[in-house]
Amino acid sequence: MSKIILIGANHKTAPVELREKLSFSSEEIVTALEFLKQDKDIKESLVFSTCNRTEILYIPETGEQVNKMIEFVSRHKNVAVSEFKDALYTYKDDDAVLHLFKVASSLDSMVVGEPQILGQIKQAYRIAVENNASGVLLNRLMHKSFSVAKKVRKETGIGDNAVSISYAAIELANKIFSDLSQKTVLLLGAGEMAELAVEHLISNKVKQIIVANRTFKNAVELARKFNGQAVKFEEREDALKDVDIIISSTGATEYVLTRDQVKRAMKKRHHQTLFFIDIAVPRDIDPQINSISNAYVYDIDDLKNIVESNIEQRGKETIKAERYIEEAVVKFRKWLESLAIVPTIKALNDKMSSIVEIECNKTLSSLKHLSKEDIEAIKRMTQAIASRTIHDPILFLRNTGDHRDDSLYLNVTRQLFNIDIPEEK
Q: Which residues are catalytic?
A: 51
Enumerate residues 6+ apart whose C-beta is below 8 A from 186: 210, 211, 212, 236, 239, 240, 243, 245, 246, 247
Q: What is the DSSP string of 43-75?
A: EEEEEEEETTEEEEEEEESSS--HHHHHHHHHH
Q: How far is the CB of 305 from other proteins (least distance, A)?
A: 7
Residues in contact with other proteins, counted by CB under 8 A, come to a total of 23
Cα 20 from Cα 6, distance rounded (Å): 19
70 binds other proteins (CB under 8 A): no
Q: Which of 86, 130, 160, 238 binds other proteins (CB under 8 A)?
A: 160
Strand segments (E) across 304-372? none
Q: Is 207 helix (H, G, I), strand (E, B) or coil?
A: coil
Q: How far is the CB of 178 from other proteins (least distance, A)?
A: 4
Q: How far is the CB of 174 from other proteins (least distance, A)?
A: 6
115, 169, 256, 263, 416 from 246: Cα distances, Å: 28, 11, 12, 15, 64
| 110-149 footprint of other proteins as x/- string (CB under 8 A) | ----------------------------------------
| 304-333 footprint of other proteins as x/- string (CB under 8 A) | -xx--x------------------------
Q: Which of 56, 152, 172, 356 binds other proteins (CB under 8 A)?
A: 172
Cα 386 from Cα 349, distance rounded (Å): 8
Closest by CA to 166, choosing from 152, 179, 185, is 185
Q: Which of 25, 78, 82, 293 binds other proteins (CB under 8 A)?
A: 293
Q: Which of 35, 89, 146, 177 binds other proteins (CB under 8 A)?
A: 177
178 binds other proteins (CB under 8 A): yes
Q: Which is nearer to other proteins, 270 or 425 (CB)?
A: 270
425 binds other proteins (CB under 8 A): no
**Angle 393-396-398 from CA coordinates, rounded to 5°:** 110
| 245-274 footprint of other proteins as x/- string (CB under 8 A) | ---------------------xx--xxxx-
Q: Which of 44, 108, 284, 302 binds other proteins (CB under 8 A)?
A: 302
Q: Which element (helix H / strand E) includes 184? A: strand 184-188
204 binds other proteins (CB under 8 A): no
**309-341 as b/e, with b when 16 or more CB fall inside 10 Å?**
ebbebbeebbeebbebbeebbebbeebbebbeb
Segment near other proteins (CB under 8 A); pick from 92-100, 191-199, 295-303, 330-338: 295-303
Q: Which is nearer to other proteins, 178 or 371 (CB)?
A: 178
Q: Is 321 helix (H, G, I), strand (E, B) or coil?
A: helix
Q: Which is nearer to other proteins, 129 or 176 (CB)?
A: 176
Segment near other proteins (CB under 8 A); pick from 49-57, 208-216, 286-294, 314-322: 286-294
Cα 174 from Cα 182, distance rounded (Å): 12
Tell me the residue type at 47: V
CA 256 to chain centre: 42
Binding site for other proteins (CB under 8 A): 160, 172, 174-179, 266-267, 270-273, 290, 293-294, 296, 298, 302, 305-306, 309
